A and B are shown apart, each in its own frame.
Chain A
Amino acid sequence: MNFFDNLAMGFGVALTPLNLFYAFVGVFLGTVIGVLPGIGPMTGIALLIPITFGLPPTSAIILMAGIYYGAMYGGSTTSILVNAPGESSSVVTCFDGFQMAKKGRAGPALAAAAIGSFIAGTFATLMLMLIGPWIAAFALNFGPPEYFALMFAGLTVVTSLAGRSLVKALLATTIGLAIATIGIDLQSGVPRYTFGNPEMLDGLEFLVVAIGLFAVSEVIVNLSDMRQAVQERLSIKGGLWLNAEDWRRAIPAFTRGTLSGFFVGGIAGAGAAVASFVSYGLEKKMSKYKDELGSGAIEGVAGPEAANNAAAGGAMIHLLCLGIPGSGTTAIMLGALLMLGLQPGPLLFQQNPQFVWGLIASMYVGNVMLLVLNLPLVGMWVKILDIPLYLLIVFIILFSFLGVYTMNNSVQDLWLMVVFGVIGYLLRRFDIPASPIILGMVLGDLMEQAMRQSLMISDGNLGIFVTRPISLTLLLIAVVSITNPYWKHIGRGLRKLLGAA
């Protein structure tokens, strides 16, 4: 089948009333989650996974992907109007967005954010469509050593970008990997770390840990400090559109943001938050109006908002073509797909084209829906902030319980969830990042299997990982990403040594 047949088939899937409905529900909920501070896309998707249990996998991924990129749109609204980012990838948007709003230019700021998100989201979907099949075809040649190296690299890139301290981030990753070893070992049938409890044989349920670590711990964080800060909320004055001058300045920023976001967040797998920061840095270096940045320059909104959407779309490439999540959010999506009995990866394009192309087509549709939701209806979203915090807390508790219980009808899972909530709170308090734990947990099993299969091929020789070029390259990427914070010191030390000699 050629490209256009595939795309036509994809739209055939995406435009069925049911899938249109799920795409709409996804982007709608995504925007809500983006607007609400505290609930990020990770918590949001984890909480809503139970809704997808009854759905066919295609509808489920359309819904989840909608939440993911919808959250990228919604996050900017509160950044601009309230100076409170809805989630981490919208933090930079506050810098210039809120300043613009203060000067009475909230309309153009919101429009720049929405249009930038739309351009970038559409570009990322286009790229997913154009290069996705190539990457999948390339990855078809991967054997277990390459897969092991790929997962190792993915894990180290995410770890190296999580939190303030590398030791803590690495520790979190190993905890995740350790959790993954609980349960029956698939290759030998030996139970590990089950303590004789039959419910432990399947291992810890990923959703229990995810909802505990993200949703329940968020509840505790909010409860521990309930004094609601009174926030200055700016209203939208004037038109919600860009004038000629705005367009002239925003278009180069859109372009830079889209490209950098796609490469940093999508190809390199660094996530949407990093992508938005990189884009802001790029504007500071390259924009003609760099002196205005920080005091309400439209570039400071246009660039990062394009970047975070390009990154969110680009992250789908890793998930769909390689089956390896590049961020906490896509790790949760992978976990959900595995629960639905679908293994994403290079074979997906061949075995399940309806799924892949349906998703791609729905992403085009979803981005158009988001543009409509976020431009004319932007005033509506700000009202969400009127929901009192305590009601939000009660609802998060309720949905956590519903989600975890409906999975296995197990009360033991509920206890475990609360325990992981407390653990998650403690981790937050000690600044140990939680997303590497989830990633380690999702990848742990796959990584162990790949490692053992590799060593079976090589009859126990570890050299198999470094003698194959692709696997060696990936391992080198891993080493570089994990050591890069120390380069500065190593360089300084070397120079000192050389200078002294």
Chain B
Amino acid sequence: MKEERFASIALFLFAAAYLAMALLGIPEPSVRQVLGPEAFPRVIGALMVLLAGLYVLQTFRGAASEDEERAAVIGADEKLGTLFDFKTVATMLGLMLAYAFLFEPLGYPIATLLMFCTSVAVLDRRHWVRDLIIALFASFGLYFVFSFLLRVQLPAGPLRLLGL
């Protein structure tokens, strides 16, 4: 699989960068120790480079040792299908990033209401009345549950002006 080759190379580069930093980038502690702060990362880094190297080899030789019988015995996750709805995933990821961005400025209730309604509009808008009621509960309702029952502070955003 071509994309898995990229993935394995990316992992190898990550491992190599990690090892390089372990070898060069960890400052000397002021007190000498039997085993300093650099030792553990070096061991892990070396192991990771070795394993990632093996992974790269496997993806290029195409002979990854996969034991389906064993996978069944240990209950491994099912493999994902190759189907990938890029448009939906990209839209929703964008929405999640926007939600993170607006979480504090707009406050939890308003940001959540917007996120909820936009998601429903993107994914399935057939039951919008029901979903709008659920959205109101999930945004304003949960906000009150968290602030007043669980005493967990959530950002209020402009609502603060109303004294909520």
With a CB–CB cut-off of 8 A, which chain A residues contact B47? 170, 174
CB <8 Å contact, B93 and A165:
no
A430 touches B7 (CB 8 A): yes
Chain A residues with Cβ below 8 Å from B129 are none
* Contact of A127 with B by CB under 8 A: no
* A476: chain B residues within 8 A (beta carbon): none
Task: Identify whether the interface residues of B are mostly helix, strand, loop, or mixed.
Answer: helix
A398 adjacent to B112 (CB under 8 Å): yes
Within 8 A of B (CB), among A383-409: 388, 390-391, 393-395, 397-398, 401-402, 405-406, 409
The A-contacting residues of B in range 71-89, CB under 8 angstroms, are 71-77, 79-81, 83-85, 88-89
Let me know if A167 is at the binding interface, CB within 8 A: yes
Tell whether, in the assembled complex, residue B83 and residue A430 are in contact, meaning their CB atoms are under 8 Å apart.
no
* Cα(A395)–Cα(B137), bound, Å: 12
Contact between B44 and A190, CB atoms less than 8 A apart = no
Q: Is the CB of A224 within 8 A of B77?
A: no
- C-beta contact mask, B120-164 vs A, less than 8 Å → 1, else 0? 100110010001001000100010001000111111000000000
> Across the two chains, which residue of chain B brings its CB closest to A186?
B37
Task: Determine if B64 and A165 form an interchain contact, defined as CB atoms under 8 angstroms apart.
Answer: yes
**Cross-chain contact A188 with B36 (CB below 8 angstroms):** yes
Within the complex, the shortest CB–CB distance from A80 to chain B, in Å, comes to 18
- CB B145 to nearest CB in A, in angstroms, measures 10
Contacts of B73 in A (CB 8 A): 274, 277-278, 281
Within 8 Å by CB of B116, from A191, A398, A451, lies A398
* Bitwise interface map of A from 168 to 189 toward B, beta carbon under 8 Å scored 1, else 0: 1011001101100100010111
Interface residues of A in 447-473 (CB under 8 A from B): 448, 451-452, 455-456, 459-460
**Which stretch of A11-19, A49-57, A65-73, A129-137 is in the interface?**
A49-57
Q: Which residues of B contact A398 (CB under 8 A)?
A: 112, 115-116, 138, 142
Shortest Cβ distance from A272 into B: residue: B75
Q: Is A220 an interface residue (CB 8 A)?
A: yes
**Chain B nearest CB: distance from A448 CB in Å?**
4
Determine if B97 and A418 form an interchain contact, defined as CB atoms under 8 angstroms apart. Answer: yes
> What's the nearest-Cβ distance from chain A to residue B86, in Å?
8
Taking a contact as CB atoms under 8 Å apart, the answer to whether A54 and B103 are in contact is: no
The distance from the CB of B60 to the nearest CB of chain A, in whole angstroms, is: 13
Query: Which 6 A-B residue pairings sit nearest by Cβ, starting from the closest?
Result: A273-B75, A188-B29, A185-B37, A390-B123, A414-B100, A174-B48
Interfacial residues, chain B to chain A (CB-CB below 8 A): 4, 7-8, 11, 15, 18, 21, 25-31, 33-37, 39-41, 44-45, 47-48, 51-52, 54-55, 58, 64-68, 70-77, 79-81, 83-85, 88-89, 92-93, 96-97, 99-101, 103-104, 108, 112, 115-116, 119-120, 123-124, 127, 131, 134, 138, 142, 146, 150-155
Between-chain CB contacts (< 8 Å), 15 pairs? A88-B75, A92-B75, A171-B52, A181-B44, A188-B36, A190-B28, A190-B29, A226-B85, A277-B75, A401-B100, A406-B154, A409-B155, A430-B8, A433-B77, A451-B40
> Could you list which residues of chain A lie within 8 angstroms of chain B, going by C-beta atoms?
50-51, 53-54, 88-89, 91-92, 161-168, 170-171, 174-175, 177-178, 181, 185, 187-193, 216, 219-221, 223-226, 273-274, 276-278, 281, 388, 390-391, 393-395, 397-398, 401-402, 405-406, 409, 411, 414-415, 418, 421-422, 426, 428-431, 433, 448, 451-452, 455-456, 459-460, 485
